[in-house]
A and B are shown apart, each in its own frame.
Chain A
């Protein structure tokens, strides 16, 4: 089976600094890839390179190839706007748009031209349910998304990403700053979502990667040290540095 995403010698530079140093890996469809590594190891940079969000930062340059379904994301034929409609991203800091809860969820579909009220209503309920947020907000969909708690905002951001029905979902530490209950809800949501989506989950919490992901990639200082089935990475890693990191003996 061909992988959903193929990454080949991907490099990202900020000014003269090389933040991501030649990463190559494959992401299988309908799997959750966990990405772990210490702070500053370029996990976020890697994730943002997949849907061309890095280029919004001044002075950033990317080299190498990213193929999504065989299409070169950095090729001249690829429109980043169209790409980002297929690839959803949830940021490390939850930032609802300054709109109502309802409008946050339907923002993407509206951009795609969905106008039908019933369809949008259905989508809102479906996506909020999938993000395990529906019961908490169903009575105040018209209220501002900014007035939700941090954990609710994070799930709202997940819901608004789901509403675009992306093939690939990129999550950057979606549970940082969340309580264990909210974290468990998001992990539960992810395990259901992978039936229809491919997911990349960046996390600072190695236990979360062990629980939630099918495969795990370990990044260190901008390089991919090792990637493999999650069970093997956590029980029998082939690189000493990986072993040190997952057993908490790092540094």
Chain B
């Protein structure tokens, strides 16, 4: 009885796992099937490095979108990484343990807030402030960076908290016994030991920023133009796909799939970096 139900569960799990992997493979294959021929016809160089995007007259250069995506992503990191890591360090090293116990689930809950809500707050609150304080249209790369920066906080914080919690207590005690202050021990030993975990959290947060679409569409302004400053309106790769998918046909449609390939490869690289950072930490112990 026990053994046979065990075998059944194992087979069920195997089937579920296979289905999941299969789904992902089918999606990837579909994107590549639609986008790859286009990419080869236009040439990856023209596609990636031309800044002329006029699908109706056969110009498919996604450079403005690529640049906007990079701007927004790194802007989000600039906001989210220091805040997230500092917050994680405070919670797990300096705050009362009770606070950390309450805060971690609360932070993870934050990750569940629908992105349209973040976008809404960005449009209603942030954009007018930016317009008033710095000029420009308000709906801008800066606004998108700030909104995304907050949105990736939960990812960065919760992985960072885990990474800090995994640092053996003996490292802290060792440093303190040598006459380090709490802060010195954290800065010179704990953060160092947790370094690759903090890095992995940041990279995963970055992946989230690259892929986020809804909130970005709402606050970034979406102009198809090379952004000249962070106060400019910009359109990211994901926003471009979402905005034009509805009416795109033929080559135009394929161009959007090719954009999907670019995003896909980008995310793959980021995840690869993150998991190798995490593995490095596991190997070090």
B178 CB-CB contact with A under 8 Å: yes
A99 touches B176 (CB 8 A): no
> For A107, what are the chain B residues with a Cβ–Cβ distance below 8 Å?
175, 178, 180, 188
A82 touches B179 (CB 8 A): yes
User: In the docked arrangement, what's the CA distance between A81 and B192, Å?
Assistant: 21
Q: Which residue of A lies closest to B285 (CB)?
A: A146
B181 CB-CB contact with A under 8 Å: yes
B173 touches A98 (CB 8 A): no
B184 CB-CB contact with A under 8 Å: yes
A23 CB-CB contact with B under 8 Å: no
Q: Which of B172, B179, B184, B189 has the largest number of chain A CB atoms within 10 A?
A: B179
B171 touches A98 (CB 8 A): yes
Interface residues on B, range: 20 to 34
A95 touches B177 (CB 8 A): no
B173 touches A56 (CB 8 A): yes
Partner of A84 from the list B179, B284, B285 (CB cut-off 8 Å) is: B179
List CB contacts (< 8 Å) of A15-56 with chain B. 51, 53, 56
Q: Which residue of A lies closest to B180 (CB)?
A: A111
B174 touches A85 (CB 8 A): no
A97 touches B179 (CB 8 A): no
B168 CB-CB contact with A under 8 Å: yes
List CB contacts (< 8 Å) of A38-96 with chain B. 51, 53, 56, 58, 81-82, 84-85, 88-89, 91, 93, 95-96
Q: What is the distance, in angstroms, from A56's C-beta to the closest C-beta of chain B?
A: 6
User: In the docked arrangement, what's the CA distance between A95 and B189, Å?
Assistant: 12
> For A97, what are the chain B residues with a Cβ–Cβ distance below 8 Å?
171, 174-175, 189
In the complex, how many residues of chain A place their beta carbon closer than 8 angstroms to a beta carbon of chain B? 26
B97 CB-CB contact with A under 8 Å: yes
A112 CB-CB contact with B under 8 Å: yes
A213 CB-CB contact with B under 8 Å: no
B178 touches A91 (CB 8 A): no
User: In the docked arrangement, what's the CA distance between A112 and B178, Å?
Assistant: 10
User: In the docked arrangement, what's the CA distance between A55 and B133, Å?
Assistant: 49
Q: What is the distance, in angstroms, from B190's C-beta to the closest C-beta of chain A?
A: 9
> For A146, what are the chain B residues with a Cβ–Cβ distance below 8 Å?
284-285
Partner of B180 from the list A53, A81, A89, A93 (CB cut-off 8 Å) is: A81
A108 CB-CB contact with B under 8 Å: yes
User: In the docked arrangement, what's the CA distance between A51 and B97, Å?
Assistant: 23
A164 CB-CB contact with B under 8 Å: yes
> For B188, what are the chain A residues with a Cβ–Cβ distance below 8 Å?
107
> For B174, what are the chain A residues with a Cβ–Cβ distance below 8 Å?
91, 95-97, 157
A51 touches B177 (CB 8 A): yes
> For A58, what are the chain B residues with a Cβ–Cβ distance below 8 Å?
97
Q: Assuming the A-B contacts A91-B170, A91-B174, are A98 and B192 also in contact, with contact meaning beta carbons closer than 8 angstroms in the complex?
A: yes
B173 touches A108 (CB 8 A): no
User: In the docked arrangement, what's the CA distance between A85 and B178, Å?
Assistant: 6
User: In the docked arrangement, what's the CA distance between A176 and B192, Å?
Assistant: 28
A98 touches B284 (CB 8 A): yes
> For B192, what are the chain A residues with a Cβ–Cβ distance below 8 Å?
98-99
Q: What is the distance, in angstroms, from B29's C-beta to the closest C-beta of chain A?
A: 43
Q: What is the distance, in angstroms, from A168's C-beta to the closest C-beta of chain B?
A: 12
> For A108, what are the chain B residues with a Cβ–Cβ distance below 8 Å?
178-179
A53 touches B176 (CB 8 A): yes
Q: What is the distance, in angstroms, from A181's C-beta to the closest C-beta of chain B?
A: 25
B193 CB-CB contact with A under 8 Å: yes
Q: What is the distance, in angstroms, from A152's C-beta to the closest C-beta of chain B?
A: 16
A111 touches B178 (CB 8 A): yes
14 A-B pairs with C-beta separation under 8 A: A53-B173, A56-B176, A81-B179, A81-B181, A82-B179, A88-B177, A89-B177, A96-B174, A98-B171, A98-B284, A99-B192, A108-B179, A111-B184, A157-B174
Given A91-B170, A97-B174, A111-B184, 9 more pairs with CB closer than 8 A: A56-B173, A81-B180, A95-B168, A97-B189, A99-B192, A111-B179, A157-B174, A160-B178, A164-B178
